[in-house]
């Protein structure tokens, strides 16, 4: 296997559209055990942003660099971001491990072929980074699937933000959130309610997008529902664990 060309971009865009531990269309979530990090070679070229984010806060404090993992034999090409220029080398290393983890899971073993995955930055501020990865691939036997996953980082601690750590844990908050999300899903025409076992999220400036793949084996598309930040007030946390010791 071989890696990778590197492109410096202020904001990184993707072409395809992100799931749990990791989620794939029509199959169970993948294990999140880490494989060895891809090797990398780098060359740089400046590329203009294809889409401006909404007023990112002090976005110049750090940059994102595109890495591309490729395997010719299995026809795999996965673009993923890495952080550079962040104040705090240890935190940067931890966050880059989190951003690299989806690639390691997808390429560990021989289950998947014909992977074409890209990424998009949906939020980039001084406090939080949210990235989605989307694409397509094939399982052994030739069955195609859609891929959707997210990596959300708390830049204060380097910790990942997941559905489990984002929503407050007390029963009242959980019940209120469940009611809110189910109402929005039903209003959007999805009568089954959310499947919380595989529920994931990503952030935008003014809203949070929750998504999951229905457990029905015939399902081919992810269900996504956007909830404005103002409607989540009082239900979500604003701290996400301890900052690691240096």
pLDDT tens for 123-146 read 999 999 999 999 999 998 888 999
Three-state SS at 163: helix
In a domain, 22, yes or no: yes
In a domain, 37, yes or no: yes
pLDDT tens for 144-155 read 999 999 999 999
- The pLDDT, as a whole number, for residue 8 is 40
pLDDT higher than threshold 90 for residue 7 = no
Average pLDDT over residues 104-108: 93
Task: Record the pTM.
Answer: 0.76
Higher pLDDT, 4 or 211: 211
For 78-108, letters b (16+ CB in 10 Å) and e give: bbbbbbeebebeebbebbbebbbbbbbbbbe
Contacts with 207 (C-beta within 8 Å, 6 or more apart), sequence order: 226, 227, 228, 229
In a domain, 170, yes or no: yes
pLDDT tens for 21-39 read 334 444 333 223 333 334 3
Parallel, antiparallel, or unpaired: how do β-strands 144-154 and 200-204 relate? Answer: unpaired
In a domain, 243, yes or no: no
In a domain, 245, yes or no: no
In a domain, 242, yes or no: no
In a domain, 187, yes or no: yes
Q: Length of the chain in residues, anyone? A: 246
In a domain, 53, yes or no: yes
Q: What CA dihedral angle connects 52, 57, 58 and 63, to 10 degrees?
A: -50
- The pLDDT, as a whole number, for residue 60 is 53
Average pLDDT over residues 80-104: 96
pLDDT tens for 46-82 read 233 333 334 344 455 899 999 999 999 999 999 999 9
Average pLDDT over residues 165-172: 97
Task: Identify the domain containing residue 92 by its residue range.
Answer: 7-232
- The pLDDT, as a whole number, for residue 246 is 61
Which CATH number covers residue 91?
3.30.565.40
* Number of domains comprising the chain: 1
Check residue 88 and report its DSSP letter.
Answer: -
User: Taking the alpha carbons of 107, 134, 117, 95 in that order, is the dihedral positive or negative?
Assistant: negative
Q: What average pLDDT is seen over the chain?
A: 80
């Amino acid at each position: 296997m071989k890696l990778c060309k590197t492109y410096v971009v202020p904001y990184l865009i993707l072409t395809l559209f992100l799931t749990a531990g990791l989620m794939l269309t029509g199959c169970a979530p993948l294990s999140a055990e880490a494989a060895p990090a891809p090797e990398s070679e780098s060359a740089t070229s400046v590329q203009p942003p294809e889409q401006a984010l909404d007023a990112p806060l002090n976005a110049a404090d750090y940059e994102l660099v595109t890495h591309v993992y490729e395997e010719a034999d299995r026809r795999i090409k996965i673009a993923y971001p890495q952080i550079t220029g962040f104040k705090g080398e240890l935190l940067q290393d931890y966050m880059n491990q989190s951003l690299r983890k989806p690639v390691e899971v997808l390429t560990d073993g021989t289950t998947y072929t014909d992977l074409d995955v890209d990424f998009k930055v949906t939020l980039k501020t001084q406090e939080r980074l949210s990235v989605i990865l989307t694409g397509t691939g094939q399982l052994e036997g030739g069955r195609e699937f859609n891929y959707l996953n997210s990596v959300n980082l708390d830049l204060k601690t380097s910790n990942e933000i997941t559905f489990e750590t984002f929503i407050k844990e007390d029963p009242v908050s959980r019940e209120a959130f469940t009611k809110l999300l189910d109402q929005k899903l039903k209003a959007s025409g999805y009568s089954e309610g959310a499947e919380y076992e595989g529920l994931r999220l990503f952030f935008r400036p003014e809203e949070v997008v929750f998504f999951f793949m229905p457990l029905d084996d015939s399902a081919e598309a992810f269900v996504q529902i956007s909830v404005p930040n103002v409607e989540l007030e009082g239900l979500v946390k604003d701290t996400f664990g301890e900052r690691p010791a240096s």
